[in-house]
Amino acid sequence: MTDRSDIIEVLARYVRAADNRDPRAMADLYLPDATVEIFYSNRGVLTKLGELSGAENIGDAVRSLMAPHPERGWSHHTTSDHIVTINGDDATIDAQFIVFNTVGQERPAGGWPDGASGAQGSITPIESGYYRPILRRVDGAWRIARQVIVHDLPMAFPGA
């Protein structure tokens, strides 16, 4: 693999850790003293929504700040248009993201009705924006030193 593909894989593992609400997998992507800053962009004017410090706190946030998946539900974070810059052991990514909420219909007790076919449920986009991590290669592995998340919509967080 190349450095570029290794760096993009860090972001792929990030979105999977978020979808799985897996604090350990999320924390493992960050340097111990990493930070995350979360913003809302209102036509380019950034409003800071929050900040997290330390890999363990960042990992715990996928459980404490993200809503649990509903019954028969899941989320899918997708990223695209990765702009990667590498300078020795430092790198940045600027990637667009969309989060889809996926909720399956409950199968009726008598089975699906006649004529039903294909997926049963809904897929709805619920978030979009940009992930802008700054990564550092330490002991041969790329880790996130600082993550900037810029949301296209205002966000409410539990307890805030």
User: Quick check: 38 and 132 in contact, CB under 8 A?
Assistant: no
Alpha helices per DSSP H over the chain: 3-20, 23-27, 55-64
Whether the CB-CB separation of 115 and 108 falls below 8 Å is answered with: no
Longest dimension (CA), the chain: 61
Give the model's pLDDT for residue 159: 58
Mean pLDDT computed over every residue of the chain: 93
Q: For position 160, what pLDDT does the model report?
A: 54
Instruction: Say what the pTM is.
Output: 0.90
- For residue 152, give the DSSP letter: S
CATH architecture assignment, domain 3-105+120-151? Roll (3.10)
List the structure tokens of 26.
């999320």
Strands 121-138 and 90-104, how do they pair? antiparallel
Q: Strand, helix or coil at 111? A: coil
Beta bridge partners of 37: 51, 148
- The parts of the chain modelled with pLDDT lower than 50 are none
pLDDT at 99 (0 to 100)? 95
Cβ 79 vs Cβ 131: under 8 Å:
yes
Residue 106 confidence (pLDDT):
87
Alpha-helix runs per DSSP H in 21-151: 23-27, 55-64
